[in-house]
Structure 1
């Protein structure tokens, strides 16, 4: 049986900074700061909801984080502008190394998209990016009403992929996800998408660190 490669979607395959183009039109010089706070709060809200066992879909976390960011930066966006920003999350661009990397890996591995997002949104996002066909399955948080890094969602992945932890790899640009998978007993790859990215000093290290997805196939072949 082929080993399973499970790919985080937002920030790993899909560039969440793609929203910057629209933000620059709306908030000008505050666009980058706005985007960073929005993304940070989006993740924080998913973590908090997971811990509290008060699940709401990732789209709800995204909307609430958008409202928070507007309040924090004292930026009064209209309801139509907020709607445009939320809609942009469904059509974010893919990183330029993704299609080549997936094409290489598809030959020898079973590929799965694995996301905290809702199934419908993730399917639409992957289809818009023209990469859905590379994945045998799309596994999402809403199927069991919790978020990564809850151990239950990694077990859900293994159940869906009919795989074992030591035969499954998590590929993510998010350190919390890498640490979550490693803690669960899986293998993990950290994609360091930014020079300024810092890995959490928990003593739980990824098996592989890469800067581009199209470097992963060679790294796995070298193991």
Structure 2
């Protein structure tokens, strides 16, 4: 029997939205290198916010994303103009959502449905708005308010404070294994949306359930 869940909390990047839908925009500027730049961009984005968290050198996610983009382009031995920077950062505010998301959000109506992300508000708000998800969601939370990136415990605690719920009343969903590990360690129920069929992280923290997409979470109703 599933526990009573009062808040369904979704990570954004990779969970609701496909970060690699920027590949085409990258390829338009850098032919035949779009996929490599997209992959490098995401890889460095993750590395940079992890490093900033450890070093105590917080910067908003839009800055982290820009820094990661600059590195990824240089890694491919290309030069990035200011106009290209602006266009590619704008593309990050228009990421494609995964096909099942709207159906699942609709099925969960009547509950607290919240996006909780490392993304900064100036990235998250236009992304959620253009996707058409705003009418389904209760709130969109960014760690920028407390300047502590996930998977720090302080970041997940923001969910409790903002939503006025207990840890055991939260189901946290992410496609990122590191995020699921952080949420599980904090005490949330966790659903790993393992879209790429990756092995579980070797951190001694097992998700409560694993699905290949978000459709599986409706069994928590």
CA offsets 1:34-57 (integer angstroms, 9 cap, x no match): 111110100111111112221110
2:215 alignment partner in structure 1? 214
Partner Cα distance (1:19, 1:128) in 2: 15
Residue 51 in structure 1 maps to residue 54 in structure 2 = yes
Aligned match of 1:145 in 125, 137, 147? 147
Structure 1 residue 77 displacement after superposition = 2.6
| Native 8 Å contact 1:101 1:215 kept in 2 | no
Structure 1 residue 2 displacement after superposition = 5.5
2:13 alignment partner in structure 1? 10
CA offsets 1:14-64 (integer angstroms, 9 cap, x no match): 111110111121222222121111101001111111122211100000010
CA offsets 1:108-154 (integer angstroms, 9 cap, x no match): x3111101011232111101000012111111111001100010011
Q: Secondary structure at the match of 2:215?
A: helix
Q: Tell me the TM-score normalized by structure 1.
A: 0.93
Q: Secondary structure at the match of 1:89?
A: helix
Structure 2 residues without counterparts, runs of 5 or longer: none
Between 1:184-193 and 1:19-28, the stretch displaced more is 19-28
RMSD: 1.4
2:63 alignment partner in structure 1? 60
Alignment of 1:1-223 (within 5 A): 3-107=6-110, 109-195=111-197, 197-218=198-219, 220-221=220-221
Would you say how many aligned residue pairs link Structure 1 and Structure 2? 218
CA offsets 1:137-175 (integer angstroms, 9 cap, x no match): 111111001100010011111110101111111100011
Structure 1 residue 106 displacement after superposition = 2.0
Q: Secondary structure at the match of 1:29?
A: coil
| Native 8 Å contact 1:20 1:32 kept in 2 | yes
- Aligned in 2, Cα 1:84/1:198: closer, same or farther, shift over 3 Å? farther
